Amino acid sequence: MLKVENLTARYGRAQILNGVSLELGGNEVVALLGRNGAGKSTTMKCIMGLVEQKTGVISYDGADLMRLPPHMICRAGIGYVPEERRIFPELTVAENLEVGRRPKRDGAPEWTLAHLFELFPNLAERQGNLGKQLSGGEQQMLTIARTLMGNPSAVLLDEPSEGIAPVIVEQMARVIAELKAEGLSVLISEQNLYFARAVADRAIIIEKGALRYEGSFADLDAHPEVSQQYLAV
């Protein structure tokens, strides 16, 4: 289980997170919702060890992650799919996947190339293409596939539906369902409530770097003023 308690973070002088707490249980899909600039990406970067100035507690299956460098957090079983995708533009699709490859880990599903190409048929055809030659949707698939090559047990997905065509968004929803079916835990940041509702088991809303709501989508629907206030709906 991934546990974040009272997390604060800042970039230089700007305080971005003011005490975020959340939990991601085994084989659970949780949506992290919030407006532009709410601190969703920063939360994920903190978990991944990519933010220096932070306080609080971050642990995974009981192991403290606060002081670990990103590669150790990855090796602990957490996969990270950044919002900007950050594929390697001058590497081919196959090479991009190779960078993500890690040995199988106990208690996590193992992803083979064949399985990934089944999940992302477009990538199979484009293995020899450079990362920068892919379309936005293909890049999004590649970045997820690259992370899965590390055989993680939990995945942080930062706004996977952002800026891609509606068909691909649908495909993305199927991919997330498949990840859950394989036994992964997924923390997915979103602005799009409809997409989040379709893929996630429950919701967390943050605003200005602090927790505003935590609960089921049913409860959220019963209190429309909450989403009204904190989400761009």
Partner 1 sequence: MGFYLAQLLTGLANASSLFLIACGLSIIFGVTRIVNFAHGSFYMVGAYLAYSLVTWMDGGIFGFWLSLLVAALIVGVLGLIVEVTILRRIYHAPELFQLVATFGVVLIVQDAALAIWGAEDLLGPRAPGLARAVRILGEPIPEYDLALIVIGPLVLGAIWLLFHRTRWGILVRAATQDREMVDALGVNQRWLFSAVFVLGSALAGLGGALQIPREAVSLQMDLSVIGEAFVVVVIGGMGSVSGAFVAAVLISVLNAFAILIFPQISIVLPFVVMAVVLIVRPYGLFGRPGSEAGGAEEPEQPLRLMSRRGAMVLAAFVLILAASPAVTGDFTSILLVDVMVAMLFAVSLHFMMGIGGMVSFGHAAYFGVGAYAAAMGMKYLGLSMLPAMALGPVAAAGAALLFGWFCVRLSGVYLAMLTLAAAQILWGVTYQWGEVTGGDDGILGIWPAGWASGDKAYFYLAMVLCVGGMFLLRRMAHSPFGYGLRGVRDSAVRAEAIGMDVKLHQWMGFTVAGAFAGLAGVVFVFSKGSVFPDVLGISQSVDGLIMVLLGGIHALAGPILGAGVFILIEDWVTRLDYWRVIFGGIILVVVLVAPDGVAGGVDRLLRAVGIRRGDAT
Ligand X SMILES: Nc1ncnc2c1ncn2[C@@H]1O[C@H](COP(=O)(O)OP(=O)(O)OP(=O)(O)O)[C@@H](O)[C@H]1O
Tell me which residues touch partner 1 (CB under 8 A).
12, 48-50, 69-71, 73-75, 80, 82, 86, 88-91, 95-96, 98-102, 146-147, 150
The residue of the chain with the least Cβ separation from Mg ion equals: 41
Q: Which is nearer to ligand X, 100 or 209 (CB)?
A: 209
Stretch that binds ligand X, among 34-42, 109-117, 143-151, 219-227 (CB under 6 A): 34-42
Letters for 38-77 (x = contact with Mg ion by CB under 5 A, - = none) are: --xx------------------------------------
104 Cβ neighbours under 8 A, 6+ residues apart: 110, 151
Is 38 a binding residue for ligand X by CB under 6 A? The answer is yes
- CA pair distance 156, 186, nearest whole angstrom: 6
- 154-158/185-190 β-pairing: parallel
Partner from ligand X, partner 1, Mg ion, none binding residue 34, C-beta < 5-8 Å depending on class: ligand X
Out of 59, 68, 83, 115, point to the residue binding ligand X (CB under 6 A): 83
Partner from partner 1, ligand X, Mg ion, none binding residue 137, C-beta < 5-8 Å depending on class: none
- CA pair distance 124, 139, nearest whole angstrom: 13
Q: Which is nearer to partner 1, 26 or 89 (CB)?
A: 89
Q: Which is nearer to partner 1, 50 or 226 (CB)?
A: 50
CB of 36 to partner 1, least distance (A): 18
Q: Determine how many CB atoms are found less than 10 A away from the CB of residue 51.
A: 18
Stretch that binds ligand X, among 21-29, 30-38, 66-74, 108-116 (CB under 6 A): 30-38
- CA pair distance 232, 190, nearest whole angstrom: 11
Give the max Cα distance, the chain.
Answer: 50
Contact predicate 140/172, CB 8 Å? yes
- CA pair distance 107, 98, nearest whole angstrom: 22
Nearest to 49 by CA among 80, 19, 18: 80
Helical residues (DSSP H) of the chain, grouped into ranges: 40-47, 70-75, 93-100, 113-119, 121-125, 136-148, 166-181, 193-199, 217-222, 224-230
Letters for 169-198 (x = contact with ligand X by CB under 6 A, - = none) are: ----------------------x-------
Interface ranges with Mg ion (CB under 5 A): 40-41, 83
Interface ranges with ligand X (CB under 6 A): 11, 14, 16, 34, 36-42, 83, 159, 191
